[in-house]
């Protein structure tokens, strides 16, 4: 998966949204057809790719990526659909033995029309099934939980699951609860999306760390940054701005609540508590009642800031992911997503900014809202989806391993397979 992950960021020119042309140009069609042979075996790269591309992606790296694709999906057999967006740019599908790989392809406008941009944007496995996905999820080392539901006016109809009621560490997925509390407050007339509050305490990770202290921010801007970029300063500002007690109450709306999740921690508090230097504080927090945990957070506020966090001590291996975390079940997360579907208002457009999966797969849905989370030993992904036929779905999954980092690309592939099967 490492080489395939690298392929997802191959040098390429961005395509602009718009309608596809009726027919590809002959030069574009020829390069698309040649790509099948180039993926099947080494050779001919210098004639196919422009120097501009090879400066960014040397031939040895390209060959390693092509070999990794063959290892995963078998031999590339044929060119599939070609969807041009202009005379020189578009998307092509390559049919492998075990999958269809979607690729953005950009060629130079002048002869010999060498390729200047290429990006792998999605895969669909041939002959895949939901049973196979469930088996693969259950086989992951550590613990897993997963659920798929169709969302109806009568509530979720459960379709597929692996231990869907298991409480899992979910990382930044907790930001969905913060978003839900903001949406509730707006719906109740207590807040407006355009309300302005100061940027609160900074937290590591995210561009708002570099913004001026107490910069005025609308609630909408903070929410968008929190969800689309998973900016920790944005989430911590909203948690305090909305009121931790109100966010705690929202957390308890969606199924049985793991009391380890309450009170809802800021990102700075969570990672400060994980630090070895704060081992005593952590033990007291882990063993305390909710009231004592609240008092500890208030009393030790100066120690539990991002400025006090040595990121290196918590960024390499799993640390306290079974105690200092944000816990939820897939069933609860889908219930939260369904609530947002019905009450979210502007939250729905915010959730749709970052789809969490490759564009070619995301475009198979009429609507796709996403929020996930990850840290060493933890990955979680949550999707709110509307199919082209108008039906709504919720998909939620998490993988925890307290003994080792999880393979994030492997889990993303499993969730992408799930969404593609649902879309079909």
Over residues 238-268, the pLDDT tens digits come to: 999 999 999 999 999 998 899 999 999 999 9
Residue-wise pLDDT for 53-92, tens only, equals 999 999 999 999 999 889 888 999 999 988 888 888 988 9
Backbone phi, psi, residue 79, to 5°: -80, 130
How many whole angstroms separate alpha carbon 395 and alpha carbon 198? 34
Strand spans (E) along 264-318: none
Helix (H) or strand (E) holding 19: none
Helix (H) or strand (E) holding 372: strand 367-375
Cβ–Cβ under 8 Å, residues 119 and 359: no
Among the listed residues 258, 361, 347, 275, the one whose alpha carbon sits nearest the alpha carbon of residue 310: 275
| Residue 99, SS3 per DSSP | strand
Q: Which residues contact 279 (CB under 8 A, 6 or more apart)?
A: none
Q: What is the CATH number of domain 130-423?
A: 3.40.710.10
Length of the chain as a residue count: 424
The pair of three-digit structure tokens given for residue 397, joined into one six-digit string = 């999954």
The pair of three-digit structure tokens given for residue 163, joined into one six-digit string = 């231990």
Residuewise pLDDT in 10s, the chain (424 residues)? 333 333 333 554 434 333 444 567 899 999 999 999 999 999 999 999 999 999 999 999 999 999 988 988 899 999 998 888 888 898 899 999 988 888 989 999 999 999 999 988 777 777 789 999 999 999 999 999 999 999 999 999 999 999 999 999 999 999 999 999 999 999 999 999 999 999 998 898 889 999 999 999 999 999 999 999 999 999 999 999 999 999 999 999 998 899 999 999 999 999 999 998 899 999 999 999 999 999 999 999 988 988 888 877 777 899 999 999 999 999 999 999 999 999 999 999 999 999 998 777 888 899 999 999 999 999 999 999 999 999 999 999 999 999 999 999 889 989 999 999 999 7
| Residue 98, SS3 per DSSP | coil
Mean residue pLDDT of the chain comes to 91
Question: What are the percentages of helix, strand and coil residues in the chain, rounded to 5?
Answer: 45, 20, 35
């Amino acid at each position: 998966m490492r080489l395939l992950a690298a392929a997802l960021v191959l040098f390429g020119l961005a395509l602009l949204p718009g309608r596809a042309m009726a027919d590809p140009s002959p030069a574009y069609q020829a390069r698309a057809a040649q790509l099948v042979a180039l993926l099947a075996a080494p050779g001919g790269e210098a004639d196919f790719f422009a120097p501009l591309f090879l400066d960014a992606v040397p031939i040895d790296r390209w060959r390693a990526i092509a070999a990794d694709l063959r290892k995963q999906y078998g031999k590339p057999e044929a060119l599939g659909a070609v969807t041009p967006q202009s005379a020189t740019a578009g998307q092509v599908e390559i049919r492998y033995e075990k999958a269809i790989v979607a690729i953005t392809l950009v060629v130079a406008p002048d002869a010999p029309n060498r390729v200047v941009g290429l990006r792998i944007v999605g895969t669909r496995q041939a002959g895949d099934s939901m049973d196979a996905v469930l088996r693969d999820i259950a086989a992951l080392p550590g613990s897993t939980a997963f659920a798929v539901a169709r969302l109806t006016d009568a509530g979720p109809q459960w379709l597929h699951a692996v231990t869907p009621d298991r409480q899992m560490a979910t990382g930044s997925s907790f930001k969905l609860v913060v978003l839900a509390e903001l949406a509730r407050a707006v719906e109740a007339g207590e807040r407006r999306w355009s309300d302005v509050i100061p940027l609160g305490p900074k937290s590591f990770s995210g561009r708002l760390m570099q913004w001026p202290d107490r910069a005025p921010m609308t609630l909408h801007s903070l929410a968008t940054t929190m969800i689309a970029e998973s900016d920790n300063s944005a989430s911590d500002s909203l948690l305090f701005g909305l009121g931790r007690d109100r966010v705690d109450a929202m957390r308890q709306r969606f199924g049985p609540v793991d009391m380890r999740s309450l009170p809802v921690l800021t990102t700075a508090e969570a990672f400060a508590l994980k630090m070895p230097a704060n081992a005593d504080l952590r033990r007291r927090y882990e063993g305390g009642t909710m009231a004592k945990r609240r008092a500890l957070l208030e009393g030790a506020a100066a120690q539990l800031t991002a400025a006090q966090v040595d990121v290196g001590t918590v960024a390499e291996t799993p640390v306290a992911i079974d105690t200092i975390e944000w816990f939820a079940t897939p069933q609860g997360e889908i219930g939260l997503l369904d609530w947002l579907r019905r009450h979210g208002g502007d939250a729905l457009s915010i959730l749709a900014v970052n789809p969490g999966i490759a564009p070619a797969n995301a475009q198979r849905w009429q609507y796709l809202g996403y929020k996930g989370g990850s840290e060493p030993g933890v990955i979680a992904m949550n999707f709110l989806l509307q199919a082209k036929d108008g039906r709504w779905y919720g998909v939620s999954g998490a993988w925890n391993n307290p003994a080792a980092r999880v393979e994030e690309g492997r889990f993303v592939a499993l969730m992408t397979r799930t969404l593609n099967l649902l879309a079909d």
